[in-house]
């Protein structure tokens, strides 16, 4: 992809850090019936089983945040998992402004259990929906699961959420079960969905094509 195309990408992803908890909780309040307070996210980030990522709006007109949370420079040196995440995500790029305050527009998370990765959440700010953020987060979760040596990815989705179901189906998820009364706010049922083996050649070829299509849709 050309440098020009890369610069046109509005969003990028990185690992969530504890300083993001306030913004993430704000997104939860905006979108979910129930929410975890920041201390729970901070505790989850310390777990060896969970991985969380956030999507950042990198445009000059993004609203920013009242209090600085995380400031990233293109020259920042990352260590540990954060350094690896930049290599894993083919979409990752540094913010265009060296001292730009980050505005989080979405969150996604996985639990890693043996060879299975289970999607904990994918959530996007209401005003940022319909712009490909959810799909970007799903792509990133797929790549993260693969790097964690998972063979399948599973998730639950509200039976009424056909938009999300269509996205998951596009990325190789199929219905494998039903959880009655799974959602505590209204006792709605959840569909249990799962991929086939994400390490298979067939899945990898399909996923690679979907990533190319997604990228092309952003840089046209």
Q: Look at residues 109, 132, 120 and name the one whose alpha carbon lies nearest to residue 57.
A: 132
Q: pTM for this one?
A: 0.80
**Which residues contact residue 140 at a Cβ distance below 8 angstroms, ignoring those fewer than 6 apart?**
13, 53, 89, 91, 108
Q: What is the pLDDT of residues 128-147, one digit of tens each?
A: 998 899 999 999 999 999 99
Of residues 102, 135, 143, 156, which has the active-site annotation? 156
User: How open is the CA angle 138-139-141, to the nearest 5 degrees?
Assistant: 65
Report domain extents, the chain: 3-135
- Of the chain, the end-to-end C-alpha distance in Å amounts to 12
**Residue holding tokens 């992809």?**
1
**Residue holding tokens 């929906």?**
129
Residue 10 — very low, low, confident or very high, per pLDDT cuts 50/70/90?
A: confident
Q: Look at residues 204, 70, 196, 216 and name the one whose alpha carbon lies nearest to residue 135.
A: 216
Q: What is the pLDDT of residues 153-164, one digit of tens each?
A: 999 999 999 999
pLDDT attached to residue 64: 52
Q: What is the pLDDT of residues 14-29, one digit of tens each?
A: 999 988 988 998 888 8
Among this protein's residues, is 188 annotated catalytic? no
Of residues 168, 171, 182, 188, which has the active-site annotation? 168
State both tokens at 211.
């990533």
State both tokens at 206.
């399909």
- The third-level CATH classification (topology) of the domain covering 3-135 is Aminopeptidase (3.40.630)
Among this protein's residues, is 52 annotated catalytic? no
């Amino acid at each position: 992809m050309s440098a020009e195309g890369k610069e046109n990408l509005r969003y990028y992803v990185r690992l969530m850090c504890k300083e993001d908890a306030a913004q993430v909780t704000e997104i939860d309040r905006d979108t979910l019936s129930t929410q975890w307070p920041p201390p729970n996210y901070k505790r989850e980030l310390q777990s060896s089983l969970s991985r969380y990522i956030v999507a950042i709006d990198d445009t000059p007109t993004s609203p920013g945040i009242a209090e600085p949370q995380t400031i990233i420079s293109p020259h920042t040196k990352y260590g540990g998992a954060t350094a690896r995440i930049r290599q894993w995500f083919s979409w990752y790029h540094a913010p265009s402004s060296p001292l730009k305050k980050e505005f989080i527009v979405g969150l996604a998370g996985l639990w890693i259990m043996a060879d299975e990765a289970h999607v904990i959440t994918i959530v996007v700010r209401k005003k940022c929906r319909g712009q490909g953020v959810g799909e970007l987060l799903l792509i990133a979760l797929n790549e993260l699961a693969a790097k964690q040596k998972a063979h399948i990815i599973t998730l639950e989705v509200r039976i009424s959420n056909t938009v999300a179901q269509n996205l998951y189906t596009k990325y190789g998820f199929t219905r494998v079960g039903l959880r009655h009364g799974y959602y505590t706010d209204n006792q709605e049922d959840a569909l249990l969905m799962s991929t086939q083996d994400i390490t298979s050649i067939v899945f990898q070829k399909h996923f690679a094509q979907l990533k190319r299509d997604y990228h092309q849709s952003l840089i046209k």
